Amino acid sequence: MTCGCFGASTIKRRRSPTHNPNEVYGVALDNVKNFSDKELRLATDNYDSRKKIGRGGFGTVYQGTLRDGRQIAVKTLSAGSRQGVREFLTEIKTISNVKHPNLVELIGCCVQGSNRILVYEYVENNSLDHVLLGTRNTGRKLDWRRRSAICIGTARGLAFLHEELVPHIVHRDIKASNILLDKDFNPKIGDFGLAKLFPDDITHISTRIAGTTGYLAPEYALGGQLTMKADVYSFGVLVLEIISGKSSSRANFGGTDKVLLEWAWLLHVEGRLLELVDPEIGEFPEEEVIRYMKVAFFCTQAVANRRPLMSQVVNMLSRKIRLNENELTAPGFFQNSGESSRKDLSSGSTSNQTLSLPPTITEVNPR
C-alpha cells in the first residue's frame, strides 16, 4: 500500500500530472497521515468494545496500536459534518500544524462517506476528570506540585492557541475531560480546533448547558458571544476544580444550591478560602494556593474584558507576584434556567458592564 490513504471504496484521490502523494482532494496533508479504514480497524481490533476508552459529545474514542507499536486514540466523530470533505481536510491540515507540549497531537485522520475519524497520540494517564473528579475518580491523588503544574501547563497550552497562533484558535470547550495527562502527569489539552470542524453545531455545547457544568462564560451561554475570554473563564473554573477536587457540575456546595464558583466566592468574601482546598491534597503552600484561587476569580470576572489574557495568567500562576485585588470584582456565572438567571455575584449590581480592561491586575513588586 502507498502511504496511508483513504480506502478505495471511500474517497478516491484526484490524480493530476503533478500528483503529490500526501494530497487528498486537492488538500496537501503534510503533517498528518491519511489512515485507511482497514488500518484503523486493525489498530482497534475492529473497534472492539474493550478498546473503548470514552464517549463524548462528538463521538466515541478507542485506544489503538499501530503496526509500528505506536499507541493511538481513535475518535470516531458521530455527529457527521455538514462540511464538505475538502473543508474538513483543510481544517485538519490547520490543526495538524499546531504543535505544543501542552496540546494533544493530531497524527492522522480517515474519511468514509459522511463519517470522519481523527487519530490522536494516546495520552497515558487519561483525563483530569478521571483522575481528580466525580464518580469516575480512579482514586489516584495528586499533590499540590502536580496540580500546580497541571494549571500552569494548561494555561501555557491555551496561551499558545490564543496568542501565538495566527489565526488564533478559541478552544470553546475547556473542561476537565479535555485535559489529558501524560505518563508524568503533564497536561495536554485535547479537542482544540474541533469547534471549527463543526461550525454549525452548537448542540454539543448547549446540551452541556443543561447539565450546569458551570464552565460556560455568561456572555457565551446567553448570547453565543465566543471570544478567547470565554476560554479564560472556563480555565478559571477548571483551576477551582483542580484545587478543590470537586466537579463544577455539582450544584450543592455548602449544603445549598450553589455551584463551585459561587461557593468559592462566598468563601473568599468570608475570608475562608482555604476551606475549598481538597483534603486529599496533602501539604500545600497556603499563600500560593490562595493566589491560584484569586487568579481563578480574575479569570471568571462577569465582564469578559476584565478577564486577563492567558499569557498574563501564566505569569500570575508561575511567579510570586502580588495580585492587585482592588481590581477584583465578583465573578459572573450562568445557570441553566435561562436569561433571568444570569447572576452577577456582586449583590445584583450590573454597573461593571461598562468597565474596560483593568489597567493592571498584578502589582509590579514581587513579594
Ligand X SMILES: Nc1ncnc2c1ncn2[C@@H]1O[C@H](COP(=O)(O)OP(=O)(O)OP(=O)(O)O)[C@@H](O)[C@H]1O
Indicate which residues carry an active-site annotation.
Answer: 173
Q: How far is the CB of 56 from Mg ion (least distance, A)?
A: 5
Q: Which residue has the cell 487528498?
A: 24
Of 245, 43, 229, 44, the C-alpha closest to 138 is 245
> Which of 132, 289 has the CB closer to ligand X?
132
H or E segment at 230?
helix 228-244
Between β-strands 71-77 and 52-55, what pairing exists: parallel, antiparallel or unpaired?
unpaired
Q: From the CB of residue 84, how many other CB atoms can be counted at a distance below 10 Å?
A: 10
Q: Which residues of 328-351 are buried (b: 16+ CB within 10 A; e: fewer)?
A: bbbbbbbbbeeeeebbbbeeeeee
Distance of closest approach, residue 130 Cβ to ligand X, in angstroms? 6
Q: Tell whether residue 178 is a contact of Mg ion (CB under 5 A).
A: yes
Phi (first) and psi of residue 256, to 5 degrees: -120, -170
Residue nearest to ligand X (CB): 56
**Smallest gap from residue 126 Cβ to ligand X (A):** 5
- Cβ distance to Mg ion smaller for residue 247 or 301: 247
The three cell numbers locating residue 23: 494530497
Binding of residue 191 to Mg ion (CB under 5 A): yes
Q: Which of 7, 41, 51, 56 binds Mg ion (CB under 5 A)?
A: 56
What, of ligand X, Mg ion, none, does residue 122 touch, CB below 5 to 8 Å by kind?
Answer: ligand X
End-to-end alpha-carbon separation of the chain, Å?
62
Question: Residues interacting with ligand X, by CB under 6 A?
Answer: 53-58, 61, 73, 75, 104, 120, 122-123, 126-127, 130, 173, 177-178, 180, 190-191
Contacted by 57, from Mg ion, ligand X, none: CB < 5 to 8 Å by type: ligand X
Residue 49 CB neighbour total at 10 angstroms: 8
Residues 6+ apart with CB under 8 A from 316: 291, 295, 298, 308, 323, 361, 362
- Strand, coil or helix: 240: helix
Amino acid making up residue 15: R
Segment contacting Mg ion by CB under 5 A, of 184-192, 206-214, 239-247, 277-285: 184-192
33 annotated among ligand-binding-site residues: no
In 3D, which of 16, 32, 45 has the Cα closest to residue 116? 32
Q: Which helix (H) or strand (E) holds 71?
A: strand 71-77
- In the bound state with ligand X, the residue whose beta carbon lies nearer, of 180 and 330, is 180
129 binds Mg ion (CB under 5 A): no
Q: Which stretch in 1-9, 85-93, 183-191, 214-222 sits in contact with Mg ion by CB under 5 A?
A: 183-191
Q: Which is nearer to ligand X, 7 or 56 (CB)?
A: 56
Size of the site for Mg ion (CB under 5 A): 3
Instruction: Looking at residues 206 to 245 of the shown chain, list those that interact with Mg ion (rule: CB under 5 A).
Output: none
Q: How far is the CB of 71 from ligand X (least distance, A)?
A: 8
Residues in binding site for ATP: 75
- Contact residues toward Mg ion (CB under 5 A) are 56, 178, 191
Residues in binding site: 75
